Chains A and B, each alone.
Chain A
Amino acid sequence: MTEAAHKLDLKGDATLQTIEGMKREILAALEKAPRVEASIDGVKEFDLTFVQLLLSAQKTAAAKGKTFEVVSLPNIYLVRMAEELGIPRPEGVGDNWPW
């Protein structure tokens, strides 16, 4: 039986000033469970550091044989930012890219 996914509800701002805290949250969640399902619906403000963090989280999970997935509905501003930056779809990330 597969282990239930760890639900991670990311909230508040995800900007240069606050991103370190969010990184710790994700890191802790990834240590706890093999599969993390993160919701970003509660994120109020974000900048490029947030995109870097999500990419790194996915890369880290993959390196550890785990899964980090964003399960929120597509966020138009995040989609737009990823497109404008030419962010590639990470390996293994399916239809929900870029979240």
Chain B
Amino acid sequence: MDALRAVFKEEALELLTELEDGLLELEEDPSNMDVVGRIFRAIHTIKGSGGMFGYNAVSEFAHDVESVLDRIRNGKLTADKGIISLTLECRDMLDTMIDVEENLTDEMTAKRDSLLLRLKAVGGQKAEAVAEPPRPTPKPVEAPAEDKLKAGSDGKLKIYRVRFTPGPNSLKDGCDPQAILKELKNVGECKITTRVSSLPLLDELDPTLSHLSWNIIISTTSEVSDISDAFIFMDSQANLKIEKIDDEDIPGDEPAPRLGDILKDRGEVDHAAMAAAELKREPIGQYLAKCGVVTPEQVEEALVEQEVIRDQRDRRKVNTTSVRVAAEKLDYLVDMVGELVIAQARLTQISLKRNDSEVMSIAEEVERLTAELRDSTLGIRMVPIGTTFGRFRRLVRDLGGELNKMAELETEGADTEMDKTVIEQLGDPLVHIIRNSIDHGIEHPDERRAAGKPESGTVKLSAYHGGGCVIITIQDDGAGLNPEKIRRKAIEKGLIMPDAEISDRELFQYVFGAGFSTAEKVSNVSGRGVGMDVVKRAIDQLRGNITIDSVKGKGTTITIRLPLTLAIIEGLLVKVSEENYVMPLQVVEECVDLTEKDLAAAHGHHVAHVRDELVPYVRMREWFAVEGEKPPIEQLVITTNDGERFGFVVDKVVGQHQTVIKNLGVMYRDVRGLSGATILGDGTVALILDARGLAQAVADG
């Protein structure tokens, strides 16, 4: 059951994200009924699955939210800003309820109750307030909700039809249908309809007798005995009938039964009446009700039954086309494929050594299959970055309100795919950046007006593929960074000399320093100088880089470059003496010879003259203190980073190499210029260079 509840939680969080996205979309376009339908379905599913997996409070609360959305769907309520805000608050409450496993604190309960009252106020009448209501007579204490997968249950989802008519004296006997129905909701998701047709007119009504009966369609993994347990306190004259009408063994693509068949199965029409009705062009239910063969209530009950069956079968259909897999299993698969890539590299190397054409042909086949397997495995982990965009839309909306600013979020490239792990770790840094953009970047509406800008600011979040990596930009049209202010702060902190000549772009990088904030006011949103250094560290950990461009008065653009995946990279294998190093291919621009003549021309400086441009370089032999003699002609591997060229002098360039990244141990974590290690085909270890970090380390001395 824990596993099932975990699946529910995962699914519910996705649905809550969908709900949030939909609500924000609806705020912009309140008449978009497609969006209303989408958010209605999301909340409806949370309600249904919640009930099925024992989250009864979640299910009940979702039901109240659903009622409001239903009124919007039926055109009885307009989705204005107030309703959207209320529904967003309810969405957050559902999130909390699921998170704390329904163990709400007093504060949470108070918040939920106040939301409930507000929901009722918009769900019921036009009135703004809800009167202090008379309370119903207290009922016997309800039995605690039990785990719905009881012993003896086969765990399969089934649908039951339950028909319940209390005896006439049931109310006098203390039988409480409301308590029974509540108990039944603990067994599964219920669709309840009440028959009121047998209720007499006032003059004939004995109000102390029971005149109502119930039809309940219940979806549950429990058995008949669990359902009948709920009726243990019904009176002796009551009538109860429980029938199974659908289960998981019936495939999802089988259509739901026809209305006429349901009515026949319920014993409400006979064969002859059905045969007559089938000859008519009218809908069967309508025709049978018109002829008085069945009552409109009976048709309604059959329709509910049909809808529930159809719903469940549709869900089964979806379940057969996609499979939910735990992320850890996927990570393990990627690890295994990584090991396979290493083993395959060894096989290729050995086959080349032996010069055996048969082994070579097998090795080639294995190489091809491994590459295919690697691509498809990594492909499974790729998810569109748009899945995280939704939360930013909400962030911009809420922050705008909190800071009395007007801001809109524009997104682009939501379909851009990235490794799931990268996307997960990217969320927090992006939140920091967007918070900063709105808090410090976007000006108040009057300031913007005075500056000739539209009152509402824009934060644009884009993602696209470029040069083997994903580039994410966060662009705002706010006030921009103030280079003078940053320079003063950097001087004050002793980071640069007062007379240092430094470009704005380099200056802006200081914003990523720990404790570096030029904000005059510290808000609860940002401005403590905590955040941007954390952002930088997070991006570094993802083997990405981050840069800032800003024009005072016009806005700021933050650009993040990230690798497509954290597991495997295309690299250039180089050698210094017997040591192997791998450089990420995406930063390598070219390789040139570095002769004794070139060295002499540089007069001892570590710069090379390449195509009329001076390129600074580092001698890897010296930097990593590798022993041995250097060859007469060395190789200069030139890399580019943000337009800056930097070279690495090595003994030999071996060639392109696909590299499975292994993390370095704790001992090497702080060594600058290294991002990991890998095992080569012959079993030796190669260090993976962080070209940018190494260049920076060299520059810093």
Contacts and interface: CB of A to CB of B under 8 A. Distances in A.
B686 interface: no
A52 B212 CA distance: 8
A3 interface: no
A38 interface: no
Contacts of A22: 207
B124 A96 contact: yes
B566 to A, nearest CB: 49
Given A16-B172, A55-B199, A86 B192 contact: yes
Nearest to B134: A43
A95 B126 contact: yes
B176 interface: yes
A41 interface: yes
Interface residues of A, number: 46
B177 interface: yes
Interface string B16-53: 00000000000000000000000000000000000000
A85 to B, nearest CB: 6
Given A30-B202, A49-B208, A74 B127 contact: yes
B130 interface: yes
B201 interface: yes
A56 B199 contact: yes
Contacts, number: 136
A45 B135 contact: yes
B171 A48 contact: yes
A73 interface: yes
A5 interface: no
Contacts of A85: 177-178, 181, 192, 194, 212, 214
B172 to A, nearest CB: 7
Given A44-B134, A74-B125, A23 B178 contact: no
Interface stretch (B114-122, B441-449, B612-620): B114-122
Contact of A59 (B67, B178, B199, B214): B199
Task: Specify the main secondary structure of chain A where it touches its partner.
Answer: helix
Interface in B63-86: 63, 67, 76
Contacts of B196: 55, 59, 87-88, 90
Most A CB within 10 A of own CB, among B131, B205, B208: B205
Given A85-B181, A95-B125, A77 B201 contact: no
B125 A76 contact: no
B349 interface: no
Most B CB within 10 A of own CB, among A30, A40, A47: A47
B182 interface: yes
B184 to A, nearest CB: 10
B134 A86 contact: no
A93 interface: no
A84 B182 contact: yes
A1 to B, nearest CB: 27
A53 B210 CA distance: 11
A81 B178 contact: yes
Contacts of A27: 202-203
A19 B124 contact: no
Nearest to B191: A86
A74 B76 CA distance: 16
Interface string A17-33: 00110110011001000
Contacts of B201: 56, 59-60, 63
A30 B129 CA distance: 29
Given A20-B207, A27-B203, A96 B125 contact: yes
A63 B204 CA distance: 13
A30 B300 CA distance: 30
A8 interface: no
Given A16-B208, A48-B212, A77-B133, 5 more contacts: A52-B207, A53-B207, A74-B121, A85-B194, A86-B216
5 contacts: A22-B207, A30-B202, A40-B134, A48-B212, A83-B63
Per CB-CB distance, the 9 closest pairs between chain A and chain B, nearest first, are: A86-B192, A74-B124, A75-B133, A73-B131, A60-B202, A19-B207, A43-B134, A60-B201, A47-B137
Interface of A: 13, 15-16, 19-20, 22-23, 26-27, 30, 40-49, 52-53, 55-57, 59-60, 63, 72-79, 81, 83-88, 90, 95-96
Interface of B: 63, 67, 76, 116-117, 120-121, 123-127, 129-131, 133-137, 171-172, 176-178, 181-182, 191-194, 196, 199-203, 205, 207-208, 210-212, 214, 216, 297, 300
